[in-house]
Structures are given as structure tokens and as C-alpha cells.
Structure 1
Amino acid sequence: MNTTTSKIRSFNRFYTAHLDILSQHYLDSEYSLTEIRILYEISESKTITAQKITEILNLDKGYLSRILKRFLKENLIVKIASDEDKRAFNIKLTDSGNELLSILNTKSENKIDGKIEKLNSSEKEILVNSMHTVRNLLTDNKIAREDIKYRHEITPGDIGYIIHLHGALYGKEYNFSTDFEKYVIKTFYTFLENYSPENDRVWMAEYHNKIVGCVAIVHQPNEEAQLRWFLLDPAFRGLGIGKKLLTDAVNFCKEKQYKNVFLLTTNLQNKALEMYKLAGFELTQSEEVQEWGLTFNEERYDLKLS
């Protein structure tokens, strides 16, 4: 069996049992979880039809019809003829339906509070963010752009984590040896020793307070700047993050009136090379080297700003 599939199934078994949702009587009520979920969807919509409920919850029409008949009999819902289509009916909760849902919502919230009461605030944040990530990855939206935050203030731990990202990503995608991580450490040591908040900047893209992308501008002699450490976690590609980071870096160089921006890269970084070229960088040097366990071309790209 596929390892990923097996792990997801294992989690599903744990989660459904942990939340006590397998019982036919949800929260000691007379109703199943599916029935309560139907009441919830009705309450969330000003107007909703049976057809819409089947689409939202992916339910069999006959199964839903039987549940709605029960709700009508127990005075939990009412059907109101649609103004747009006389053949269709909008469904609304009655006062009894709203009261039942309110009671069960309170019970559910108390039950969840009890499940997480032993967690500290950081652990609760991790839990909620993880759930948000699962939801995004399993929908068409995947990771939402609005969940990505950007900043350029360097805080404790940032540089160490960026070094980790470089070692992990380049090791996985390009099979670079650990000597590459040693090289990145040296470059950051030099950077921090000569760091000028006025002339240098490191931009970071974050997803739920975790760095997923970065780029930096480092001042150099002769009114030049070097673009460094441009990196993006593969899971976050295609969201425009890299383009924004690169644009912000170039705009910063224009603002500081650098005459030229250069970067050093390899011919292996195809995605990044495409972005550099689209931003106006031009190849000025290329030399074959053997480093970090591989043979490749080390390349220099320049962008003239004046």
C-alpha cells in the first residue's frame, strides 16, 4: 500500500475515534453526525435547497430526502416555496431546530475545549495551523496566497532556519553534499559581521510563522549590490511568492541607487534562472566547477540599474 495513503488512513482512524464521532448518537443526542451537519448547513444559509445540500455534503438524494422528512415531522425545519422556481423549496430551521443546534454547538465546543485544555498557547497554534494546512492542501485552493506574510526584520533564529532550508532543499533537489551547507554558513557569517541595516536587507515569506522563502540584498563596493539566498520551499511554488521577493529586492536596489546588481548561481537552478532573466538579469560569466559533490557551471548574472 502507498505509504502516504496508509498514513492518511491511520490518521483518519485516530481522528474519528478521538473526536467520538463514530456513534450513531452524536453528543448523546437522537441524531447522527451527518444529520447534525445537515442542520448546520441549513443554519449557515439564508436560503438553501435539498439539491444544494447534496452538493455540499456529497450525499445520496434519497438518503437526504429521508432525513429531511424526519426533520419536518419533528418540526426542526420548514419548507418555503422558492420565488425563482416554484418547483423548488428553500429549507429553513424552525425555532426548535435553532434551539437544538445551539445546544449541540455548546456541547461540541465544551468537548473540544476539554480535548485541548492541556495544550499551551503555542501547541494550540500549531494544532490550528496544521488543520488549516490540511484543509488547504486537500482543496482546489491548496495554500492560500493571503496566508503568506512578508517581513524583512531579522529576528533570532531566522538566519539559522534559512541555513537549514538551504541545506535541506539543495540536498534533496540537487543532491548537494553537506559541504554546501558549510558554504552557506560561511556566507551568512560574513554577512552578519558586515551587516548594514541601511544598505542590506533580508526578505522572508512566512506561512503560519514558518519561513518558506527568502532573498537578500548585500551591499558591495563600487555602488554594487549582490542578490543572495533566493530560495522557496517547493510546496509554495506557483503562488507568486518568488516573484514578489525578487521584485522587492530589485526595487530596494533602485531605491538605494545601486548601479548594478549581480548574483552567483549555477546552471542547475532552472526555475530561479527563468525568474532572473524575466527580471532583466543577463548572464555575464560561466565556468565549469566541481563542488559539493557535483560538476556544474557556476554562473554570474548582472542587472544594470544605471
Structure 2
Amino acid sequence: MGGTFASTELPPSAVHALIEIDACPGITARRLGDVLRLEKSSISRMLQKLVQSGDVLEQVDMDDSRSKRLTLSAAGRQRVATIHTFATKQVSEALERLDPGEGRVVATGLRLYADALASRVDHSVRPGIRIVCGYRQGIVARITQMHVSYYARTANFGQRFESVVAAGLAAFCDRLENPRNAIWSAIREGNIVGSIAIDGEDMGEGIAHLRWFIIDDGVRGGGVGRRLLSEALAFVDAQGFTETHLWTFSGLSAARHLYEAHGFTCIEEHLGSQWGGEVLEQRFVRLRPPATNPGP
């Protein structure tokens, strides 16, 4: 871990910091220190260098003037994209050297390891969050609010996006009596801080549509998204869906990595404006995992 890292001139802690800020725009320096498990003085020195290099932007928190919110500059986002490209190439080249069948063993091991890490983080950093299934009072307004808050900041979406989210979610909740449809909420102290849904009827027989996957800014990076996604996919497999589809758009690198870690592959890209602004829309598909043969 000494020296530079990931084809950059940065130390590993700085690379990790950039990835976390990219995954959670607006994260505070204090929260970043908790995630990286670094002392306040170490975080301060590292952030000062990243700000001076032009990779990170600091903004005083409107709710707490003692805190600063961190986001990536255009140069910082480009640097993170380069880091991910380097990592993808490094991993791909290693996997190509495996014998047939060994890749599946590696994938299973990494998934178990990632789930174990997420469980550790959930209990040590984000205690008191539970995942519940079904309609809850205020769920349409709260999920819409989380979407609007996040995507107004990251993609400059406005009224059109809010209307699409609210109308679609309200219509879906009217169809929850269908056992092929389900919605989950992450709950902390009685408040919804995350959501995900599976629409089992709007894309045709045998296809599950993953929708309204969002995490509140205050709990990003704590494994809540992974827990929600795992819960939804367990439902998909139990219901016997052959495919799971989701629509997103280019630039949400943290979400893409999470999808790919759970077996999704991007199969389609095109420019579109269904959310109120032109973006490179992407469709990801996950095929139903093959059944495991029981041992003798």
C-alpha cells in the first residue's frame, strides 16, 4: 500500500477518498473520516491537498456552518473515471488468465466477502436501520423527495422529473395487491431513508422491473443500498422471474458498480429525455442465476 496507487500520483487513502466522494456527493469531512477510518488531522491534510489540486470542492453546510460538504470538480470526476478504468482493466486481465469455471468461484467469493463487509459496516456505522416491505404512509412523497433532491444536484433535473417519479410511483402503489409487485423501505427512527421496488407486470411475462432505487444522502456509503438491492433480488429469484431489467443513465458510477456486482450487464445505451433533461440512458439486465445442483 505504499507509494502511489491506481495509476495516479495519489496515495491509496486519497484514491479511496475520491471514490467515496464520487459515490456520495455532499458527504461531510467528518463522515468521510469515519468511512476511511482516519483521524481528523489526517483527513484535513489529505482534503487540503485534493482541494489545492482542483479535484475536490468544499462548500459550507447550510444547516451547520461548522461542517463542509465535499463534491468532485470536473477534473475530480475525470480522475475517478480514470481510476475505475484502470481498475476494470486490471481485474479483467487477471480474470482472463483463469481456467474455465474458476471465474464463477471468484465471483461467488467476492460476493460473499462484499456482503460480509456491508454487514460489518451496517452494524458499526449505520445502526438502527431496518428493511421493511410494503406500503407505508407518506411513501410516495418521501421517495419522490429523495429522488428530486439527489438528481437536481447531480443531473440538474427539475419539475418534469419530479412529476414523472411521483405519478409513476403513485400508480405502482395502486398495484401492490399483485403478489408479483413489491416495494421495500429502509427505516431509521421511523423515517424512510431508502427505497427499492420490483414491478412484476409492466415489462411482460417473466421480466422483473427494478424501480425507484434511492438512498438518502445521510446514509450513503453505509451498505443500505446493498441491503435493499439484495432484498429485492431475493424476491425476484423466489418469484421465478427469468430476467430483471432497470433503466438508469451514464455517469452514476457508484450505482453501476453495485449493479454489476449483483450480476447486471449494460445491454443498451441511447440519448433520451424521459426524465426532463437529455442524458445517455442505459438499460441493465440481470438473468436469473442457474439453479445449484444439490450435493450427493
Structure 1 length-normalised TM: 0.52
Give the CA deviation at 1:240: 0.9
Q: 1:190 aligns with which of 160, 167, 171?
A: 171
Distance 1:158 1:223, change over 3 A: same
1:213 is aligned, of 171, 194, 201, to 194
Name the SS for the 2:272 alignment partner. strand
Residue number in structure 2 paired with 1:235? 218
Change beyond 3 A, Cα 1:7–1:216: closer
Alignment check: 8 A CA contact 1:268 1:296 kept: no
The answer to whether the 8 Å contact 2:180/2:200 transfers is yes
Q: Given residue 190 of structure 1, which amino acid in structure 2 is its aligned partner?
A: A
The AA in structure 2 aligned to 1:279 is: H
Pair 261,293 (structure 1): closer, same or farther in 2 beyond 3 Å:
closer
Determine the structure 1 residue equivalent to 2:130. Answer: 149
Q: Summarize the alignment of residues 1-306 of structure 1 with structure 2, pairs less than 5 Å apart.
A: 4=61, 144-220=125-201, 221-292=204-275, 294-305=277-288
Cα distance, 1:276 vs structure 2: 0.6
CA distance in 1, matches of 2:174, 2:162: 18
Cα distance, 1:281 vs structure 2: 0.5
CA 1:186–1:8 in 2, change beyond 3 Å: closer, same or farther? closer
- Larger displacement relative to structure 2 (268-277 or 246-255): 268-277
Measure the CA separation in 2 of the matches of 1:5 and 1:183.
29
Q: Once the 2 structures are TM-superposed, how far is the Cα of residue 3 of structure 1 from its aligned partner? A: 5.6
Distance 1:142 1:4, change over 3 A: farther
Unaligned 5+ residue runs, structure 2?
A: 1-58, 67-121, 291-296
C-alpha separation in 2, matches of 1:164 and 1:273: 22
Across the aligned residues of Structure 1 and Structure 2, the Cα RMSD in angstroms comes to 2.6
| Other structure's SS at 1:294 match | coil
Secondary structure class of the residue paired with 1:185: helix
- Cα pair distance change 1:279/1:156, threshold 3 Å: same
Q: Displacement of 1:265 after TM fit? A: 0.8
CA gap of 1:185–1:143, structure 2 versus 1, over 3 A, is: farther
Deviation string 1:226-275 (CA, Å, 9 cap, x unpaired) is 00011111221221111111111111000000111100111132211111
Secondary structure in 1 matching 2:170: helix
Q: Closer, same or farther in 2 for the Cα pair 1:284/1:8, shift >3 Å?
A: closer
SS of residue paired to 1:280: coil
Instruction: Give the Cα separation in 2 of the matches to 1:157 and 1:143.
Output: 29
Residues paired across the two proteins, number: 174
Q: Are the structure 2 counterparts of residues 154 and 288 from structure 1 closer, same or farther at C-alpha, using a change threshold of 3 Å?
A: same
Give the structure, 1 or 2, with the largest relative contact order (CA under 8 Å, sep 6 or more). Answer: 2
Deviations 1:171-209 (A, max 9, x none): 122211211001102211331233335111111112211
The residue matched to 1:284 in structure 2 has which SS? Answer: strand
Structure 2 CA distance for partners of 1:144 and 1:289, relative to 1, 3 Å: same
Change in 2 beyond 3 A, CA 1:152/1:289: same
Change (3 A) 1:3 1:264: closer
CA contact (8 A) 1:143 1:236 kept: no
Other structure's SS at 2:278 match: strand
CA separation in 2, counterparts of 1:276 and 1:5? 33
Helix, strand or coil for the counterpart of 1:145?
coil
Q: Give yes or no for contact 2:193–2:216 (8 Å, CA) kept in 1.
A: yes
Residue 283 of structure 1 aligns to a residue whose secondary structure is: strand
Q: Structure 1: which 4+ aligned runs deviate by more than 2 Å?
A: 2-9, 141-146, 192-197, 290-295
- Quick one: percent identity of the two aligned structures? 25
Which entry has the higher C-alpha Rg, 1 or 2? 1
